[in-house]
């Protein structure tokens, strides 16, 4: 279901027609403000409850231990990244550790 104008999935305040594909086939709406923030933050959106999480890219990258992963994220540093996740810390605390601790490879880059 795709709506041309919908509430921003990240801040849930602005109505916007801008959207990004966070997973193959999954489109979320992201307003201008949040897209700006996505330049310096990684944004994850929980596909179960719809909660959005933001983490500064610098912090995320500096915590990565895996050099390969780190390199992949450095490449993505200047890009706008909004990722969909299956569950968030509130839905499934264990799964989220896997996502945010040693985040999946950045497939969108």
Which residue from 5, 18, 49, 79 is in contact with Zn ion, where contact means CB under 5 A? 49
- On whether the CB atoms of residues 109 and 72 are closer than 8 A, the answer is yes
CB of 13 or CB of 71, closer to Zn ion: 13
Which window, 62-70, 73-81, 90-98, 99-107, contacts Zn ion (CB under 5 A)? Answer: 90-98
Q: How far is the CB of 80 from Zn ion (least distance, A)?
A: 13
Residue 81 to residue 61: CA distance in whole angstroms: 13
Centre a 10 Å sphere on the Cβ of residue 71 and count the other Cβ atoms it contains. Answer: 12
Residue 17 to residue 30: CA distance in whole angstroms: 8
| Chain residues that interact with Zn ion, rule: CB under 5 A | 8, 10-11, 14, 31, 34, 46, 48-49, 51, 88, 91
């Amino acid at each position: 279901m795709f709506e041309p104008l919908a509430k921003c999935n990240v801040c849930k305040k602005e109505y916007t027609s801008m959207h990004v594909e966070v997973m193959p086939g999954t489109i979320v709406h992201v307003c201008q403000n949040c897209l700006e923030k996505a330049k310096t933050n990684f944004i994850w959106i929980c596909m179960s409850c719809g909660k959005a999480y933001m983490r500064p890219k610098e912090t995320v990258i500096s915590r990565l231990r895996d050099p390969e992963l780190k390199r992949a994220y450095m490449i993505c540093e200047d890009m706008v990244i909004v990722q969909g996740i299956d569950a968030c810390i509130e839905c499934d605390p264990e799964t989220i550790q896997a996502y945010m601790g040693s985040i999946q490879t950045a497939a969108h880059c």
